[in-house]
Structure 1
Amino acid sequence: MRPTGAMAGAVLLLASTLAAGAHPHVFAEAKLDVEVDANRTVKTLRHLWRFDELFSSTVLMEFDKNSDLVLDANELDAAALTIHASLAEYNYFQMVTADGKDVAMKPPARLVASFENNQLVMQFETQPAATLPLAGKVSIGVYDPTFYTAIEFTDDDKMAAAGLPASCSRVVVRPDPDVAIAQNQKRLTDAFFTDPTGTNLAKIFATRLELTCA
């Protein structure tokens, strides 16, 4: 979706192209909860993003249709629907792999928006499109492939896995951007010119949860 008119001001902050700037303009503190079922498969990813006050104020101005400086339920739903549509082409900033192979995810049925302490909070859930067993290494990263939005996990406990079997290990990987760029400079340059709206190479920058199971 390419928003037009006044709505573009808010939505393009989340769904801008790489050409608009290769460094973050929007910041969100995030939490990821992975639910594992009794069959040792990944059942659900639960995401929570708490956006910075500047972006949150922009959303407030765009969607506060009655100008009371509060987003009511209908206005929050409108914001959530717009962001939901805008993030679809970016897979909602999720990068999931199993032993290095991409895993397809079902789009979230809906995003739930709220405002807490002058900050926009978005919550949503996704599930693997097919059964995703915990075998080998399952990696779950969260990153904006356009480099416009920084999704930040302030500590490792913000990436949790409930129901993880004892035979599995959990580690949070935080790549060094300078090292990642240096190691992949040519690939990143080529990807920019062939696909300036974003690249799957973003996974090399993503903070990710790695679950390794015997």
Structure 2
Amino acid sequence: MTKRSLISAAGAMFLAATSPSLSHPHVFAEANLEVMVSADGHVEALRHVWRFDDLFSSTVLLEFDMNSDLALSQEELDQVGGVIHESLAEFDYFQFVDVDGRAVTMAPPEAILANYEDNQLIIFFESKPQAPLPLKGSIAFGVYDPTFYTAIEFTEDNYMSVSPLPASCARTVVRPDPDEAIAMNQDKLTEAFFEDPTTNDYSKLFATRLELTCS
């Protein structure tokens, strides 16, 4: 499959990789993030589920439905997952983890699984910390597209969960107000940021995030 076909297949999500100047959402996904915790109080993995909007889902169906039966076979779904896996690698799979303000490196997911039900594309993937990650201090987890092309939405606070939540940790879901985020970071958000947000990491200031404060 050619690069041109890859971009066509994934629609707006993959256009983000080649059109960073388009800085407002064109694709919408309702997300669920589950932070898996081991018995000794370390982050084992982040489990992601994204359910895409009807328009984007239909675009993927039309592109990958090779036999035109208006359904996606397992082979076709595997192709969808492979394309998404390859395309999001450049953007660290739209996820971030910070510990006391320092970025944590996450290993790439082994695979991205795709499903198609009720006319919506759903993807599942799991990523693990590159190094052991104990639940100590202030830890933030978020999912966002640095190009602003894809809106990853957590419509309910319980869609960002910790399993199990240690007694030593307090959990908060933070939904930044865009105007407040801009006002608080005015000295950092230059004109270049608004023209091309992919040149920096400030776009995560606007992302919904799960914060854990652990003793």
When normalised by structure 1's length, the TM-score is: 0.92
Unaligned runs of 5+ in 1: none
Are the counterparts in 1 of residues 146 and 197 from structure 2 also a CA contact under 8 Å? no
Matching residue's letter, 1:166:
A
SS at match of 1:128: coil
Distance in 1, matches of 2:165 and 2:194, equals 41
Distance in 2, matches of 1:137 and 1:213, equals 6
**Percent identical across equivalent pairs?**
57
Are the counterparts in 1 of residues 113 and 123 from structure 2 also a CA contact under 8 Å? yes
Are the counterparts in 2 of residues 146 and 198 from structure 1 also a CA contact under 8 Å? no
Distance in 1, matches of 2:122 and 2:86, equals 17
Distance in 2, matches of 1:84 and 1:26, equals 17
- The Cα of 1:199 is off from its aligned counterpart by 2.7
Change (3 A) 1:106 1:194: farther
Are the counterparts in 1 of residues 52 and 120 from structure 2 also a CA contact under 8 Å? yes
Change (3 A) 1:129 1:53: same
Q: Find the counterpart in structure 2 of residue 133 from structure 1.
A: 134
Change (3 A) 1:29 1:196: closer
Q: Find the counterpart in structure 1 of residue 182 from structure 2.
A: 181
Deviations 1:153-189 (A, max 9, x none): 0110000001221111000000011221233345333
Are the counterparts in 2 of residues 191 and 199 from structure 1 also a CA contact under 8 Å? no
Q: Find the counterpart in structure 1 of residue 9 from structure 2.
A: 10
Unaligned runs of 5+ in 2: none
Q: Find the counterpart in structure 1 of residue 73 from structure 2.
A: 72
Distance in 2, matches of 1:80 and 1:102, equals 27
Distance in 2, matches of 1:152 and 1:193, equals 21
Q: Find the counterpart in structure 2 of residue 42 from structure 1.
A: 43
Q: Find the counterpart in structure 2 of residue 25 from structure 1.
A: 26
Q: Find the counterpart in structure 2 of residue 122 from structure 1.
A: 123
What is the CA RMSD across the aligned residues, in angstroms?
Answer: 1.8
Are the counterparts in 2 of residues 88 and 107 from structure 1 also a CA contact under 8 Å? yes
**Residues 195-204 or 26-35, more deviating:** 195-204
Are the counterparts in 2 of residues 96 and 103 from structure 1 also a CA contact under 8 Å? yes
Distance in 1, matches of 2:175 and 2:120, equals 25
Q: Find the counterpart in structure 2 of residue 168 from structure 1.
A: 169
- The Cα of 1:9 is off from its aligned counterpart by 2.0
Number of aligned residues: 211
Aligned positions of 1:70-149 closer than 5 A: 70-149=71-150
- The Cα of 1:201 is off from its aligned counterpart by 1.1
Distance in 1, matches of 2:106 and 2:211, equals 17
Are the counterparts in 1 of residues 50 and 124 from structure 2 also a CA contact under 8 Å? yes
